[in-house]
Amino acid sequence: MITMAEDNRSILFSRERIAQEVKRIGQEISRDFQDQEVMLVGVLKGSFLFIADLIREIEVPSVIDFVRLASYGSGTQTSGIIEFRKELEMPIRGRNVIIVEDIIDSGYTLECLYNKLLLQEPRTLKICTLIDKKARREVEIEADYVGITMDDGFIIGYGLDHDEKYRNLPDIYVVDEE
C-alpha cells in the first residue's frame, strides 16, 4: 500500500538538481550531434515536463514527436504488458532519434519501444532518461543519456505520477511504501 499524505513523502531530487542535470544532458546531446538534426521522441505521459525542459537546452536543430505507452495499472509494479496507445506521427527513417523517458525501471517498456523503432531504420537510435533505476533492470537495456541514477523507491513529481496524480509537483519526491 502506498500512502500519499504529505508527511509520507520527502524531496529526493530538487528542482535545482533536476535543472542542472537537464542542462548537462542538453549539452551532451548538442555536442554529440553537432551540425546534425535530432528527433526527440517523448514517451507520454511521464516525460512531458522533462522533454519540454530538455529541448530548450539542446542547441542543434530539433524536431519532436510523441508515443504513448502504458505498462502500469494503478499499482507500483510493472505488469510487463506494454500497450501502444499512440503511435509516432513523423517518419523516423534516416533520422537521429532520441527516445526521451522519465524513468527506466524494469526496462520492459523501453525494450519494447526500442525494438519497434529500430525496425523503422533510424540513422541512429539513442535512449535518454531523466531517472535510471538501474538496480531494478530485468532486461538488458542501457540509456545513453542519464540524468540521475537511483536505487529502489517509488517517486512522484516532475511528470511522474501515482495513479495519474502528482505530475505537477516541481520537485521529485520519494514516497514511503507501507
- Site residues, ligand IMP (CB under 6 A): 46, 71-72, 78, 101-110, 154-155, 160
Kindly list the residues in this chain that would bind Mg ion in the complex (CB under 5 A): 43, 46, 102
Q: Of 33 and 175, which CB lies nearer to Mg ion in the complex structure? A: 175
Q: Label residue 35 left, alpha or beta by phi (over 0 means left) and psi (-120 to 50 means alpha).
A: left
When CB distances are held under 5 to 8 angstroms depending on the partner's kind, the choice from Mg ion, ligand IMP, none that residue 105 binds is: ligand IMP
Q: Rounded to an integer, what distance in angstroms lies between the CA atom of residue 134 and that of residue 157?
A: 19
When CB distances are held under 5 to 8 angstroms depending on the partner's kind, the choice from Mg ion, ligand IMP, none that residue 154 binds is: ligand IMP
Catalytically annotated residue among 53, 102, 105, 132: 105
Q: What is the DSSP letter of 163?
A: T
When CB distances are held under 5 to 8 angstroms depending on the partner's kind, the choice from Mg ion, ligand IMP, none that residue 78 binds is: ligand IMP
Smallest gap from Cβ 109 to ligand IMP, in A, equals 3
Q: Of 30 and 106, which CB lies nearer to Mg ion in the complex structure? A: 106
Q: Is position 105 annotated as part of the catalytic site?
A: yes
Q: What is the CA radius of gyration of the chain?
A: 16
Q: Of 60 and 154, which CB lies nearer to ligand IMP in the complex structure? A: 154
Q: Of 33 and 143, which CB lies nearer to ligand IMP in the complex structure? A: 143
C-alpha cell, 170: 516541481
When CB distances are held under 5 to 8 angstroms depending on the partner's kind, the choice from ligand IMP, Mg ion, none that residue 155 binds is: ligand IMP
Q: Rounded to an integer, what distance in angstroms lies between the CA atom of residue 13 and that of residue 155?
A: 10
CB atoms within 10 A of CB 147: 23
Helix (H) or strand (E) holding 52: helix 48-55
Among 146, 147, 168, smallest CA distance to 158 is for: 168
Active-site residue set: 105
